[in-house]
Chains A and B, each alone.
Chain A
Amino acid sequence: MTLTKPNLIKLLVPLVAFVATLFAIRSLDGSPGREAAAPGVPAAGFDDTRSADRRIASLQAAVARGTDRSAPYAALGDAYLQKARETFDPRFYARAETALREALARDRRDATALTAMGALANARHDFAAGLRFGERARAAAPGVAKPYGVIVDALVELGRYGQAERALQRMVDLKPNLDSYARVSYFRELHGDVAGAVEAMRLAASAGGDARENFAYVQTLLGNLELARGAVPAARDAYRLALSRYPRYAPAEGGLARAEAAAADLSAAIRRLRRLVARPLPEYALALAEAELAEGRRAVAREHLALVDAQHRLELRSGASADAGMAVFEADHGNRERAVALARMVWRAAPSVSAADALGWALTRAGAAAEGLVYAQRALRLGSRDPLFLYHAGIAARDAGRPGLARRHLESALTAGPRFSPYHAPRARAALADLR
């Protein structure tokens, strides 16, 4: 397929739609509650009483009557956070924050509001603040499991894994449920225990949550784990189960596309991803671009890479701080100096293993492989079996003049996930062949 003008326009349509959505939401900011009441607008959740829209509408009515109590504001802030989760739209964060601040102005020890503020800070990548709020919530409500979730998430991202493990063990002892099981799974995955991660995520999925989105989320993560260890059929089953309960759930569709790519059905993956890029989620545009690059469709891939870039910029403009994914993207497909700058920022803010991986890869791609290898090794310090981390470390070692180490890392990458990416896996294989 050659790229023609109409095709280019087609590619820009999703971006335009995204910007239009942002404007629509912004205009609604002035008229609270409108989006919940507008006829014909589908609600966010299947479950009527529990949908974020219903909760938002009734809680807005509750606070509109005026109250000295913190609870309705805390609950409203919380509902906005769920709304953000269901719509993938970070703009609901601002509303959440306003409501939560109202709650804390009424009761600065409201554990619900403190927990939600912590989760909000974590979502915005301000993990130090997330940890502070989480600790305050724990102090206000000792013996309650939820504040530990905020604390664990922050500690993991801050790279403080020992403390994170203790907090997480406490959380899962207090309340084994979807929330704590899913966190145990992630923690095991970070430590390279993929089978143990699958075991914990199965418990999370079996427990289920109060919204379909919760189930679809953990089921999709289960698929990702299966895919990461090369169990493509199991991964596909997990994604399809997520979709059977929560139709059109983007992360599960994205997972199916990656499973198709892993099964060497690139054209099916591309077809699926094309449907997904209509949504403002850069990871699917990136997956699409990399699948197209793998098929040798460079021109069309370039357009999708431009879309990823535009979406990243929109995110940053909406107040989110840079994340490791952005730095890795810049290192692979963008400006390598910018990648290093972004990655250093991410690393300084939160020195987690993914920040180390991003910085290591950015440095390696910018020609500073010796320093890059130091960070790449830090990314592996917990024992991660993430094929992408291992691939990055392998290339860093090669460029730093450590061929033996490079071979070992590349072999590990391809053992952990023989088809971990249609774009990177062939590169890993070629690099390994050269080294042999």
Chain B
Amino acid sequence: MKRLTIVAALMAIAVAVPLAIGSSHREAPLTAIDPTADDTDVYAFTAKDAPGALTVVANWVPFEDPAGGPNFYRFDERARYYINVDNTGDGKPDVRYRFKFRDRIENPESFLYALPGVSSINDPKLNVKQFYDVERLNYGYSKSASASKKGKKQKRHSRKGKSRKGKSKRKHGRKRVLRSVRTVARNIPVAPNNVGPKTIPNYDAVANEAITALPGGGKVFAGPRDDPFFVDLGMTFDAINFEGRGNLPGNRGGGKDDLAGYGVHSIVLQVPEERVTRDGDEVDSPQDRNAVVGVWASTERPRLSVLASASRRGDDDDDDRRRDSGGDWVQVSRLGNPLVNEVVIPLGQKDRFNRTTPDRDAELYGKYVVKPELAAVMNLLFGVGAPETNRLDIVQAVLQGLPGLNQHTGDPRKAKPVDTIKLNLGTPPANDPQRLGALAGDLAGYPNGRRLTDDVVDIDLRVVAGALADPKVLGSDACQAPAKCPNPIPLGDGVDVNDKPFANSFPYLPKTDSGLDSQIKRSYPLQP
């Protein structure tokens, strides 16, 4: 749901200057969004066909128009993409999967994406290819004195910001360390863009060649897919205009899926649960100590010193240096729950939110959750009577996990609020998944993990309206008439399912429309 941010940002900043004036000075753009780094959505669930495994779908590059030209959409080969797993509930990553992409152009003389008749993913006719490596990073706490010495040494080399972080990583005198980095798989092909039936006649078969089995179990897929998110954006951004669609309060369908026909770039990862649990063991039951994992995605870009460039330092290839040594990186985007980054975090805090990790969420952003602006807006617009303050119910649903369901700890008072998607790996997949997930009594759905079919817009609207609010917690002031805790008003955007059905097998996401039969109205740049 990060594209809510995107649209908000589009309505915000995209500043530019024509070259006609001032050819003697330059102003680079101030872009509204940063698509190649922008996490749009993260899903974490137990797939029906893969019990005993964690399945994560993470999407980047919003608003891909299949007819927009196949060259345009890709992963950034100079960025690093992550799927993060926190298995202790402290908001720090314990296991990270890192994805590093690189481009390969078969014929540098040609800027064509592909020649007609591409029949396999390695076909030389597919001119522009991307490949990637998957690495697995394990974190833990140092046990011996020598390890903490090593930690100190690392600290000396790091920058200011990092040493502060290093301090906060101490726990009982032990130091948090990166224990290992292992390359899980190398040179995996990314599925090509769905150009059209003349270029890639059997697209499904070619794209499915991108599904790669991982050694030790599990599989991975990266490439363009239909955006699985569904929402009536027009309505949402027109001050949640249910009236405009004539279906207040929005639970009677009739909404328009504004993301129909758009694609994203997805990474779908499925790994045996023992690869991500805190004890490296299988999950025996929903009550097992290791059952809950918190998942989020993030993106990093290289740090740059304004004047000390690689060439000035006499360093021939900065890229390689960074790739090999880990170098200096800045996190530019992260996404966990589909509510937090876009609706809860104010515009002035978003850059910082995207730089920080979940462990500091309560301290830095807790107040925006406890007193959500959206609740006040909804009351103003519809008089739904949503409680506006002291929203510990939202903190619990989104940041702490629901007690007995997807909280990391057995003691609700100790559950740390962190923006991760918390999934209980012991919860069996539902036979009849409800789009309203846990709100509809389907405990295998959001906010216990997030499935592709979960209607998070409706769930979030209802949660903010007070569907989970407890008068005992909120106090009678917050629950005055017409407010009711829990609030029964069935809000929604009228879009209940994705425009394309999801598959029952890996990678679960449908392919994008082809460029030829794109649903999106085509438009072309005005000739300057």
Contact = CB atoms under 8 A, between A and B. Distances in A.
B306 A184 contact: yes
Interface string B70-103: 0110001111000000000000000000000000
B525 A85 contact: no
A87 B526 contact: yes
A208 B332 contact: no
B208 interface: no
A78 B15 contact: yes
A177 B31 contact: yes
A109 B318 CA distance: 40
Interface string B143-157: 000000000000000
A246 B22 contact: no
Interface string A190-231: 010101110110111011111111110110010000000000
A81 B14 contact: yes
Contacts of B111: 240-241, 243-244
Contacts of A144: 347-348, 350-351
Contacts of B349: 143
Given A179-B28, A196-B312, A89 B20 contact: yes
A381 interface: no
A45 to B, nearest CB: 6
Interface stretch (A262-270, A274-282, A295-303, A426-434): A274-282
Interface stretch (A318-326, A394-402, A407-415, A417-425): A318-326
A49 interface: yes
Contacts of A347: none
Given A48-B65, A78-B15, A323-B25, A172 B306 contact: yes
Nearest to A167: B306
Contacts, number: 299
Given A84-B18, A89-B18, A174 B11 contact: no
A290 to B, nearest CB: 14
B484 to A, nearest CB: 29
A23 interface: no
Given A75-B10, A210-B31, A246 B525 contact: yes
A178 to B, nearest CB: 6
A405 to B, nearest CB: 25
A102 interface: no
B307 A213 contact: no
A358 B24 CA distance: 10
Given A85-B29, A193-B312, A209-B31, A200 B523 contact: no
A90 B354 CA distance: 34
B498 to A, nearest CB: 18
B465 to A, nearest CB: 22
B33 interface: yes
B330 interface: yes
A207 B34 contact: yes
Nearest to A43: B523
Given A178-B28, A184-B306, A75 B521 contact: no
A116 interface: yes
Contact of A46 (B31, B32, B262, B525): B525
Given A74-B12, A119-B15, A207-B79, A218 B28 contact: yes
Contacts of A182: 28-29
A97 interface: no
Contacts of B525: 42, 44-46, 86, 212-213, 246-249
Contacts of B33: 210
Majority SS at the chain B contact face: loop
B472 interface: no
Interface in A88-129: 88-90, 111-112, 115-116, 119-120, 122-125
Contact of A282 (B20, B305, B520): B20
B307 A193 contact: yes
A209 B31 CA distance: 6
A158 B417 CA distance: 47
A186 interface: yes
Interface stretch (B217-225, B296-304, B334-342, B453-461): B296-304
B30 A179 contact: yes
A207 B36 contact: yes
User: Interface residues of A toward B: which range?
Assistant: 35 or more
Interface in B46-84: 63, 65, 68-69, 71-72, 76-79
Contacts of A237: 108
Contacts of A124: 21
B347 A111 contact: yes
A87 to B, nearest CB: 6
A221 B15 CA distance: 18
B305 A169 contact: yes
A180 B330 CA distance: 13
B352 interface: yes
Given A42-B524, A244-B111, A165 B306 contact: yes
Given A50-B63, A51-B523, A173-B330, A207 B37 contact: yes
A157 interface: yes
A200 B304 contact: yes
Majority SS at the chain A contact face: helix
A345 interface: no
A265 B29 CA distance: 33
B19 interface: yes
A198 to B, nearest CB: 8
B69 A245 contact: yes
B36 A172 contact: no
B304 A203 contact: yes
B9 to A, nearest CB: 9
B300 to A, nearest CB: 9
A46 B523 contact: yes
Contacts of B309: 188, 193, 195-197, 199-200
B81 to A, nearest CB: 13
B325 interface: no
A186 B28 contact: yes
Contacts of B350: 144
B310 A87 contact: no
Interface stretch (A6-14, A146-154, A333-341, A370-378): A146-154
B304 A354 contact: no
B523 A45 contact: yes
Nearest to B258: A49
B348 A111 contact: yes
A29 interface: no
B78 A207 contact: yes
A136 to B, nearest CB: 13
Given A44-B526, A208-B76, A210-B34, A143 B351 contact: yes
A87 B528 contact: yes
Contact of B15 (A46, A59, A116): A116
B27 interface: yes
Contact of B34 (A82, A177, A320, A325): A177
Contact of A323 (B22, B27, B35, B332): B22
Given A143-B352, A144-B350, 15 more contacts: A45-B525, A48-B520, A55-B11, A71-B12, A87-B528, A88-B18, A141-B347, A176-B303, A178-B31, A180-B304, A195-B309, A203-B304, A207-B78, A246-B525, A250-B19
28 contacts: A46-B69, A51-B523, A55-B11, A75-B12, A88-B19, A119-B15, A122-B17, A125-B21, A143-B349, A149-B28, A175-B34, A177-B31, A179-B30, A179-B31, A186-B26, A206-B77, A207-B36, A209-B34, A221-B26, A241-B111, A244-B71, A248-B527, A249-B525, A283-B19, A320-B21, A320-B22, A323-B25, A324-B24
Closest 8 CB pairs of A and B: A196-B309, A85-B16, A75-B11, A195-B311, A182-B28, A43-B523, A119-B15, A324-B24
